Amino acid sequence: MIAIRRVSGISMMPTLNQGNLVIALRTKKYQVGDIIIFTHNSLDIIKRITSISGDSFQVIGDNPKHSTDSRNFGSINRPDIIGRVIWPINKNKENYENFSTT
């Protein structure tokens, strides 16, 4: 499954900026460092995986002072993951410099 979402907020800056479009791909394997989209309280959220324990994931924003994440709501479960962000879409190519697709 492929998902396209628009970034809302500043919790993933400087990696992803408000208004960026991102493409996410559902995969069987996720690893620490992946940026994922997941559902929490009926909202789609974008964060980075910081630890994995079985099918539970801890996530945090790249801008932790402005992020609501696992520090607030705890772990997320694999079925809540929509996909791993594989590419941001933005007219400004400078936003791609620090983004890893691996």
| CA distance linking residue 4 with residue 26, whole number of Å | 12
- pLDDT higher than 80, residue 96: no
Paired tokens of 10? 């500043």
Evaluate if residue 94 carries a pLDDT over 80: no
Measure the CA–CA gap between 76 and 48, rounded to whole angstroms: 12
Q: Give the pLDDT score at 87.
A: 86
Q: Where are the domains of the chain?
A: 2-95
Whole-number pLDDT of residue 90: 53
For residue range 34-62, what is the model confidence (pLDDT) as tens digits? Answer: 999 999 999 999 999 999 999 999 999 99
Give ∠ CA 1-94-32 in degrees, rounded to 5.
45
Q: pLDDT class for 66, splitting at 50, 70, 90?
A: very high
The pTM (predicted TM-score) of the whole model is 0.84
CATH number, span 2-95:
2.10.109.10
What pLDDT sits at residue 100?
A: 38
**pLDDT tops 50 at residue 101:** no
99 vs 63, which has greater pLDDT? 63
